[in-house]
Amino acid sequence: MEPVVELRGIVKVYPDGVRALDGVSLRLYPGRVHAVLGENGAGKTTLMRILYGEIKPTRGELLLDGRPARFRGTRDAIRRGIAMIYQHPRLVPTLTVWENVLLYFASAGVPEGEAEERLEEARRITGFDVPLDARVEDLPLGARQRAEILRSIAAGARVLILDEPTTNLTPQEFEGLARAIEGAKREGLAVAYITHRLPEVKAIADLVTVLRRGRVVASELDPRGASEEELARLMVGELPPRPSRSRGGPGDRVVLSIEGLRARGRMEVFVERLEVREGEVLGLAGVEGNGQEELVGAIVGYTPRLSGRVVVLGRVNPTPREYYRAGAAYIPGDRSKALVLHFSVAENLAFLRYAHEGPALLTFSRLARLYREVAGEYGIVAESPWAPAGSLSGGNQQKLLAASQLHMRPRFLLAVNPTRGLDVATTRYVRGLIARLADEGAGVMLVSSDLDEIIELSDRVAVISRGRITGILPAGKATPERIGLLMGGAA
Ligand SMILES: Nc1ncnc2c1ncn2[C@@H]1O[C@H](COP(=O)(O)OP(=O)(O)OP(=O)(O)O)[C@@H](O)[C@H]1O
Ligand SMILES: [Mg+2]
């Protein structure tokens, strides 16, 4: 079968000297999903940005329908039928979906008169229904992503690049995405699919290529012939063991207590009673958007508490500053909001730790030492501490965020999707650190959309649905089925 596009011998050296790709070739075929796997920093996003015309390769060539092609920018690529969907949607938040569609059609050269008809066709192919007159900023991430896919297909994409599309999706939303991809395949689109989640590869990929440190280590494998363990080993070498909890049982001291808490952000949450003791991991499961964000905000102090009490390490209704000063840590769920990407890695570390440490941190030597410790211990790959945080691969940004908090050995940790975007080995490593933190006596509240993660680490699992806790299960009873029932709101 002839590939739609082919990348040949691609080398990419970034201006600061990082050799992200070292002779990589990749072919995308019509009607096939080609999964591109590799550890954090392997070069996956870089390769796709080259295909999308966003950055230029240092060497190597691109063939479109067998003929050499050169894109001067993404607009060129879009006009030739290449579409890329990033981890974080790139729609204009203050415009409506429809306005965003028209903007994209203008770049793609689609006449406005055809817009409605084409959208209708794309809706049929993907099964996606997105409210066209909604403002993008009012939509959850999943809906924004569906809007992006919809408009790409409507604009006549022949190649669809999905860079970790499920990082911000619920498991249910993955099903919808998988159906849309099936539809796209039937229309003959070529799909490049980047993910760290191996079950997804087994579910939808037709072929697999694995990158390691900028080189291809396995090309066009048949995923049905490889187990998840084998794929993982190809990506990262030996896997660290699965984390285990020693489960000494919780201590007496309560590190987080919530009583009669009412808080309002996008929605209202009410929590009658919730406690985390030292030595315990309390998981909070739920379909995203059921009040997790509000509850987390009310614990740290970002979301207004309307009534009731939150006590963190003895501080009653703490402000964020009091929260951190008490020795509590927080890994927020959305790294795009928690990091300032055009500031350096070291500066970001200063922001992330400033509230705990105060101005004493703000000397070059202290900051440099903290960076060396954190980067060394957690294997953060950056060109230097003064490189912009945006030059880190997505996974390395996530590592920076998690490491900055874990490294301080907090007595209470509130972690929201701490392993989102991490490769399989690093995921195990970070989960291991959370387990160890609890085994050593800290209390942890783990909010995660990944049920496996919750079940693996938690002593008890609380389930949130429509702003209310619908049940709390001890580890032995916290099965996916029971949690699922409570997620649906069954009390
Ligand atoms: N704009 C940039 N400037 C300098 N170096 C960069 C830039 N973007 C990426 N890099 C470097 O290139 C290498 C590959 O990064 P890339 O983002 O392609 O990895 P990835 O495979 O997508 O990883 P992840 O799974 O973490 O998303 C990394 O070492 C990264 O630090
Ligand atoms: Mg990436």
pLDDT of residue 470: 95
Q: How many alpha carbons lie under 13 Å from residue 28 in its C-beta half-sphere?
A: 30
Whether residue 245 lies inside any domain: the answer is: no
CB 40 near ligand 1, within 6 Å: yes
CA–CA separation, 389 and 394 (whole Å): 10
Q: Which of 404, 458, 480 is nearest to 277 (CA)?
A: 458
| Maximum CA extent, the chain | 70
Residue 65 three-state SS: coil
Together in a domain, 222 and 282 = no
CA–CA separation, 73 and 170 (whole Å): 33
CA–CA separation, 14 and 454 (whole Å): 38
Check if the beta carbon of residue 315 is closer than 8 Å to that of residue 326. yes
Together in a domain, 29 and 166 = yes
Cβ–Cβ contacts within 10 Å for residue 390, how many?
14
Dihedral Cα 483, 181, 428, 225, nearest 10 deg: 110
Check if the beta carbon of residue 394 is closer than 8 Å to that of residue 208. no
CB 333 near ligand 1, within 6 Å: no
Whether residue 241 lies inside any domain: the answer is: no
Whether residue 477 lies inside any domain: the answer is: yes
Together in a domain, 82 and 150 = yes
Report the nearest atom of ligand 1 relative to the CA of 387: 4
Burial 350-370 (b: 16+ CB within 10 A, else e): bebbebbeeeebeeeeebeeb
Report the nearest atom of ligand 1 relative to the CA of 38: 21
Whether residue 209 lies inside any domain: the answer is: yes
Question: Whose Cα sits closest to atom 25 in ligand 1?
Answer: 40
CB 236 near ligand 1, within 6 Å: no
Domain boundary among 184, 205, 236: 236
Together in a domain, 221 and 260 = no
Angle between helices 141-154 and 171-186 (to 10 degrees): 0
Check if the beta carbon of residue 117 is closer than 8 Å to that of residue 86. no
Together in a domain, 302 and 214 = no
Q: Where are the alpha helices (DSSP H) in 261-406?
A: 292-300, 320-325, 335-338, 345-357, 364-378, 394-406
Together in a domain, 320 and 227 = no
Domain boundary among 208, 236, 264: 236
First to last CA, the chain: 54
Question: Whose Cα sits closest to atom 29 in ligand 1?
Answer: 41
Residue in the block written with tokens 């940005």 = 49
Together in a domain, 413 and 282 = yes
Together in a domain, 311 and 351 = yes
CA–CA separation, 154 and 20 (whole Å): 33
Together in a domain, 312 and 218 = no
Report the nearest atom of ligand 1 relative to the CA of 390: 1
Whether residue 262 lies inside any domain: the answer is: yes
CA–CA separation, 383 and 392 (whole Å): 8
For ion ligand 2, residues whose CB falls within 5 Å: 45, 394
CB 426 near ligand 1, within 6 Å: no
Whether residue 247 lies inside any domain: the answer is: no
Count of domains forming the chain:
2
Together in a domain, 335 and 222 = no
**327: containing domain:** 254-487
Together in a domain, 454 and 382 = yes
Domain boundary among 183, 207, 236: 236
- The bridge status of strand 5-13 relative to strand 59-64 is antiparallel
Whether residue 172 lies inside any domain: the answer is: yes
pLDDT (tens, 9 = 90+) of the chain, 491 residues, equals 899 999 999 999 998 889 999 999 999 999 999 999 999 999 999 999 999 999 999 999 999 999 999 999 999 999 999 999 998 889 999 999 999 999 999 999 999 999 999 999 999 999 999 999 999 999 988 999 999 999 999 999 999 999 999 987 877 789 999 999 999 999 999 999 999 999 999 999 999 999 999 999 999 999 998 998 899 999 888 888 888 887 677 888 999 999 999 999 989 999 999 999 999 999 999 988 899 999 999 999 999 999 999 999 999 999 999 999 999 999 999 888 889 999 999 999 988 888 887 777 778 888 888 899 888 888 888 888 899 999 999 999 999 999 999 998 999 999 999 999 999 989 998 999 999 999 999 999 999 988 999 999 999 999 999 999 999 999 989 998 899 889 887 65
Q: Which amino acid is at 155?
A: A
Whether residue 243 lies inside any domain: the answer is: no
CATH classification at residue 344: 3.40.50.300
Report the nearest atom of ligand 1 relative to the CA of 18: 5
Dihedral Cα 150, 133, 145, 467, nearest 10 deg: -140
Together in a domain, 288 and 387 = yes
Which residues lie across from 6 on neighbouring strands?
A: 27, 63
pLDDT of residue 88: 81
